[in-house]
Amino acid sequence: MDHPIKRDHARFRKIVKGKIRDNLRKYVSHGSQIIPKGTDKFTVPMPTIDIPRFKFGDKSEGGMGQGKGEAGDPVNGQPDPNGQPGQGEAGEGEGHKELEVELSLEELARILGEELALPNIEPKGKKSLQSVVDRYTNIGTVGPDSLRHLRRTYKQALKRQIATDSYDPENPVIIPIRKDFRYRASDTKVEMQNAAVVIYMMDVSGSMGDEQKEIVRTESFWINLWLKSQYKDIEIRYIIHDATAKEVDEHTFFRTRESGGTLISSAFNLCKEIIEKDYNPNEWNIYPFHFSDGDNWSADDTKLCMDLLDKVILPVSNVFCYGQVESRYGSGQFYKDLVTKYGQTSDKLILSKIKNKEGILDSIKEFLGKGK
Amino acid sequence: MNRTKPITGELLALKEEIEGYAIKAGLDFFPQIFEVCDYDTINILAAQGGFPSRYPHWKFGMDYDQLSKGYAYGLQKIYEMVINTNPCYAYLLQANNWVDQKIVMAHVYGHNDFFKNNAWFSNTNRKMMDVMANHGTKIRRYMDRYGADAVENFIDKVLSLENLMDINELFETSSLKRHRQEQSDQQKIESQDDGYLNDDRSQALKSFMRTKARINKRDEPLPKKEDDQISAERPLQNKSKDILGYLIQYAPIEEWQADIIGILREESYYFLPQRMTKIMNEGWASYWHSRIMTEDALDSSEIIDFADKHAGVMAMSRQNINPYKVGIELMRDIEYRWNRGMFGKEYNECTDMKEKHHWDTKLNQGRAKIFEVRKSHNDISFIDEFLTPDFCERQQLFTYKYNPRTGRFEIDSKDFLAIKQKLLSQLTNFGQPIIEVEDGNFMNRKELLLSHVHYGVDLDVNFASETLRNLYAIWRRPVNLKTKYEEKEVVFQYDGKEFKTIN
């Protein structure tokens, strides 16, 4: 049996997750607070979980130290409330440093999913490979002793004794016989091997400022998180464009700033090429996302975009998402054009307007809420 | 669940060896039991304050989480845990290397001696291991009966007030209380039948007769008193720093809740002496591990390893006082001074620095003095009495504070009095704000009034408001806190709906 502290630990984790859920909006609108750690772990700062006490409320008050120096010399670093080296005494540790908890991708995604009531995604049927796994989730009447399920066995024995009236509540002795024995048994499950690709496109022309990019970055973080939790295998590609488009890595994607004009079709063209080259729609679930402030160079180009969407991108994608980030310079025309063409709600195309950081969570809900 | 096991073989032999050195050094300790365990277990033990079994609560899980992470990332490692019980249990990390085990054992004997002899520990329950386990069973039972959430919720509230203790309670043993009760009963009886002495017999004779009457009375059984009488005598306006004790008596709570407060209170008070003697306790243990190692236990091939470990433990920090370092140096300083008679009127009044520096009366009472110090002092009196300007200078102590102009923390002063004052203020009331119940019937409306004894540092208002919220959940009437905030007298109130400032 595990040490009881594991239960305390599980309880602690549950409280932490509850806290994150309660404050999800805050975490989402300050995207940088959640720090990815490796590929599937995240560190979340938790300021408020500790038990409140009456305590002195000073940071400016300073403290005491040891070492060389004269009055006026800086004390390197900040005072560390836990600055104790080496050995520790069985003591009452006061002063917790700010708590950081680690969550796995699944846990974080589940929190997001529960809070936004996101439906699970049904991967496109035939595009999944099947694989067989055995899991011990069943109970059987035969099996080796090492797999005997004591609780079920005794339950069975109790049932039998009550049924045969040989159970005496005054003397509650339960003796299992051979046929009461129950064993853990394996279930064979078919799991889908499925893969998805997310293609992010972003307008990096002059009108998209740092704030707009920050919004896109935060939003893409949560979208990736959700999709990663839904698919076994996921690839992410990044395209930036002004008047021309190019594929870049993640780092460049969020840091590039160009000044040229805007031809959205250039990105759509590149997206189309990438799909055609690397992702067979029969095997891949494809998610193109496009973020811009809604400015396009000309009505002609917008028409070209619609054509590309209709002919190539929409038919192969699970869903195409367009997020329009409000900016001081953007006209927002592209959104209106899309609405005119496809209507406010469409099966294959999701539109979302993101006003500011606070709007991110709602926008994520719009994009992912359909379970596509 | 045998996660720890007694030491055997070489380690056991090592224990015998070290114990011999400890006896030779004059240490006086409880029987010592060492057990070894893996790092996960020692993290569990540390999270549970050293005890293998505690009541269920997520805070232990939280501490365990932090400790495990600290270990996994190589930030910290716990070499040993020692707890104040008789016999004294200490846990060693299995993975410690040989020299580490030696140091740790020697260190543990220092702690053990301190636990046994320091006056502040004299009334701690040495069977705390069983008590803690019983507390766990009790609280689990309450959880079964009243619901895990309800009980946990209540524990959260109580833990919020756990640091509000009265150090004088450490000496309020039950026998003392009984004795006092007996005496007051006695007095009552006497004052009742003092009547027959109301005449003009001489004072001496009256006194004699009273004594005689008392002696006669002592052998008679005490008259049975009604329980109600005691609480009726105590008005709600009883000032007290022992907030949890006060709540048990006067808060409108159910029996199981009172029991839980009692349990948590008992545990807090058990740990209190350790919080009051951190510097001394660590200083004493370090002094002895250093002595035992360098004089007896150390093999010549182990010197570098020992020096490395020892230096790590003694590392000075510019941000914080290292209790190990200050403690050991102060112990050594006392020993040195009392060996050479560097104290007292004559020494203090000597103005010739050279003479003072070479002062030596061949008194040789250093060792005796530090044994005496470890018996009767706590951190505050220890610093107050033995910190000297010389010592501060040698140890390069300084105070620092935030400079808003440069936006950084800067060394403020290296002046002896400033350092001493800072250190003492950090240690006052074991570093916690002093809060006392002022009135249990505030405004004649059964509201609770606490007052914060303000020594120049404000409370953290956010924390105070949350704490009052929790207190309200127990008191169930508005709770008030009188304090000073930003130079002004204020009363904060939480009335069940909102946190506000009144008056």
CATH value of A195-368 in 3.40.50.12780, 3.40.50.410, 3.40.640.10, 3.40.50.300: 3.40.50.410
| ipTM score of complex | 0.80
Does residue B269 fall inside a structural domain?
no
Judge residue A266's burial from the number of C-beta atoms within 10 Å of its C-beta, 0-12 exposed, 13-18 middle, 19 or more buried.
Answer: buried
Residue-level pLDDT at B206: 63
The residue with greater pLDDT, B341 or B2, is B341
Q: Which is higher by pLDDT, B133 or A71? A: B133
Residue pLDDT, tens place only, B361-386? 989 999 999 999 999 999 999 999 99
What are the tokens at B278?
A: 């951190």
Same domain assignment for residues B421 and B439: no
B321 touches chain A (CB under 8 A): yes
Is B383 within 8 Å of chain A by CB? no
Contacts of B435 in chain A (CB under 8 A): 54
Per-residue model confidence (pLDDT) at position B370? 95
* pLDDT value of residue B231: 41
Residues B351, B453 within the same domain: no
* Residue B326 shares a structural domain with residue B358: yes
% of chain B exceeding 90 in pLDDT: 60
**Is any Cβ of chain B less than 8 angstroms from the Cβ of A55?**
yes
pLDDT at A294: 81
Q: Would the CA dihedral through A168, A171, A176, A182 be positive or negative?
A: positive
Indicate the residue among B290, B308, B326 that finishes a domain.
B308
For the cut 70, the answer to whether the pLDDT of residue B220 exceeds it is no
Same domain, B15 and B105: yes
Q: Closest to A5 (Cβ–Cβ): which among B47, B156, B410?
A: B47
Is there a single domain that holds both residue B321 and residue B335?
yes
Residue identified by tokens 């003697």 is B277
pLDDT at B353 (0 to 100): 87
| CB distance B94 to B264 below 8 Å | no
- Report yes or no on B214 lying in a domain: no
Sorting pLDDT into bands at 50, 70 and 90, what band is B200?
low
* Residue A89 confidence (pLDDT): 34
pLDDT of residue A61: 64
β-strand A99-104 against A195-203: which pairing, if any?
unpaired
Average pLDDT of the segment spanning B23-40: 94
% of chain B surpassing 70 pLDDT: 90
What are the pLDDT digits (tens) for B390-423? 999 999 999 988 888 887 888 888 999 999 998 9
Taking the CA of residue B251 and the nearest CA in chain A, the distance in Å comes to 19
Per-residue confidence (pLDDT) for residue A82, from 0 to 100: 40
Q: What is the pLDDT of residues B142-189, one digit of tens each?
A: 999 999 999 999 999 999 999 999 988 888 777 777 787 888 777 776
Are A44 and A27 in contact by the 8 Å Cβ rule? The answer is: yes
Q: Kindly state whether residues B78 and B15 are assigned to the same domain.
A: yes
> Domain residues for B31?
5-118+277-308
In a domain, B140, yes or no: no
Q: Rounded to the nearest 10 degrees, what angle do helices B366-376 and B379-386 cross at?
A: 140
B196 within some domain: no
pLDDT along chain A (372 residues), means of 10: 85 86 78 70 74 76 80 66 36 48 83 82 61 82 90 92 88 89 86 80 81 84 85 86 86 78 86 88 86 82 86 86 82 82 78 84 84 72
Final residue of a domain: which of B399, B427, B455?
Answer: B427
Q: In this structure, is residue B21 part of a structural domain?
A: yes
For chain B, the domain total comes to 3
Residue-range domain boundaries for chain A: 1-50+99-117, 130-191, 195-368
CA atoms within 13 A on the CB side of B102: 22
Q: What is the pLDDT of residues B433-486, one digit of tens each?
A: 999 999 888 888 889 999 999 888 888 888 899 999 999 999 999 999 999 888
Q: Are residues B320 and B422 in the same domain?
A: yes
Candidates B242, B244, B132; CA nearest to B471 is: B244
Round to whole Å and give the CA distance between A200 and A226.
15
Does the pLDDT of residue B232 top 60, yes or no? Answer: no
A47 interfacial to chain B (CB closer than 8 Å): no
The residue out of B261, B288, B308 marking a domain boundary is B308
- CB contact under 8 Å between A12 and B61, yes or no, is yes
| pLDDT higher than threshold 70 for residue B298 | yes
Looking at CA atoms only, how far is residue A56 from chain B in angstroms? 4
Residues of chain A contacting B160 with CB distance shorter than 8 Å? 51-53
Q: Residue B215: which pLDDT band, with cuts at 50, 70 and 90?
A: low
Residue B115, pLDDT > 90, answer yes
| B325: chain A residues, CB-CB within 8 Å | 66
Which residues in chain B are contacts of A5 at CB distance < 8 A?
Answer: 44, 47-48, 60-61, 64
Are B343 and B409 members of one domain? Answer: yes
Same-domain pairing of B420 and B322: yes
pLDDT at residue B168 in the model = 87
Distance between CA atoms of residues A195 and A215, nearest Å: 26
On whether both B53 and B28 belong to a single domain, the answer is: yes
